């Protein structure tokens, strides 16, 4: 199954953003807490109830201000609180996955960074279990080589902690100077029951991701072709400047390829 939906509501808010999804025949929506978790539990419950009624698969993107490997312990704790706040709201939103960028290498070696993030993931999972929040942490493949989060690191993190991962196809391209070997990536993802993913056009420099762009039809067709080839069960959240328009375009292409 392929589920499609936008990142955010493009200013439509609640209930407009969810109703727009239903109008376009979309099946997912990722609620954005990118600049802070500013939502009451009552609001989250109302959104979650409507999403369930409209049969939308919800997910949450946590705040950008997260670094689980900061030199300052206080910043690590603040990062964890932002993620856990996202989890609390995500539970009420009926959101399965809590997406976030885990941290930066800075001057640390990759193994040290991995172990630090692993420890913090395990610690947060204890709180999630204690609170009985029905969510799963899904750190994202990041768009810059200076950030923790290539596909191998996240697959290892999944294996060692039981967390999930968010596969950002565009970030993979940006991390590798515009190159992405779909066969290699899809082969590595085999065995995962469902893939939560992001997609859009992307601009990059030698330092990696610069900004998201409108998604080109040829890129959509290429990704969908590999999803069909490897029979991947996937949610595709579009993060372009026009996520609703690009989701509608993707849906149209998907329907044409399915005939």
Question: What pairs with residue 31 in β-bridges?
Answer: 60
- Note the pLDDT tens digit of each residue in 74-92: 999 999 999 999 999 999 9
What's the pTM?
0.96
| pLDDT of 33 over the 80 cut | yes
3-state helix, strand, coil in the chain (%, to 5): 45, 20, 35
Is the pLDDT assigned to residue 259 strictly greater than 80?
A: no
Q: How confident is the model at residue 209 (pLDDT cuts 50, 70, 90)?
A: confident
Sign of CA dihedral 173, 176, 181, 185: negative
pLDDT surpasses 90 at 106: no
Rg, Å, the chain Cα set = 17
Domains identified in the chain and CATH numbers: 2-257 (3.20.20.150)
59: helix, strand or coil = strand
User: In sequence order, what are the beta bridge partners of 237?
Assistant: 5, 198
Counting residues of the chain whose pLDDT is more than 70, the rounded percentage is 100
Q: Which of 95, 36, 13 is nearest to 60 (CA)?
A: 95
Task: Using pLDDT thresholds of 50, 70 and 90, give the confidence band for residue 252.
Answer: very high
Q: Mind listing the pLDDT tens digit for each residue in 161-172?
A: 999 999 999 999
């Amino acid at each position: 199954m392929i589920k499609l939906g936008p990142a955010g509501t493009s200013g439509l808010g609640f209930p407009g953003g969810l109703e727009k999804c239903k109008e376009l025949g979309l099946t997912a929506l990722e609620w954005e807490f990118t600049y802070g978790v500013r939502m009451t539990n009552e609001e989250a419950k109302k959104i979650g109830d409507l999403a369930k009624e409209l049969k939308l698969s919800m997910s949450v993107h946590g705040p950008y201000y997260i670094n689980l490997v900061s030199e300052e312990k206080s910043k690590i704790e603040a990062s964890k609180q932002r993620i856990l706040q996202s989890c609390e709201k995500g539970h009420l939103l009926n959101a399965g996955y809590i997406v976030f960028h885990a941290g930066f290498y800075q001057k640390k070696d990759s193994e040290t960074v991995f172990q630090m993030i692993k420890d913090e993931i395990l610690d947060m999972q204890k709180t999630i279990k204690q609170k009985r929040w029905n969510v799963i942490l899904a750190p994202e493949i990041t768009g810059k080589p200076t950030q923790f989060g290539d596909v191998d690191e996240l697959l290892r993190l999944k294996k060692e902690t039981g967390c999930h991962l968010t596969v950002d196809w565009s970030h993979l391209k940006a991390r590798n100077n515009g190159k992405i070997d779909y066969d290699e990536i899809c082969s590595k993802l085999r065995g995962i029951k469902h893939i939560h993913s992001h997609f859009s056009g992307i601009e990059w420099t030698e330092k990696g991701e610069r900004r998201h762009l409108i998604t080109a039809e040829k890129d959509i067709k290429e990704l969908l072709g590999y999803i069909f080839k490897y029979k991947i069960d996937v949610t595709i959240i579009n993060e372009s400047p026009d996520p609703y328009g690009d989701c509608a375009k993707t849906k149209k292409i998907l329907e044409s390829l399915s005939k």
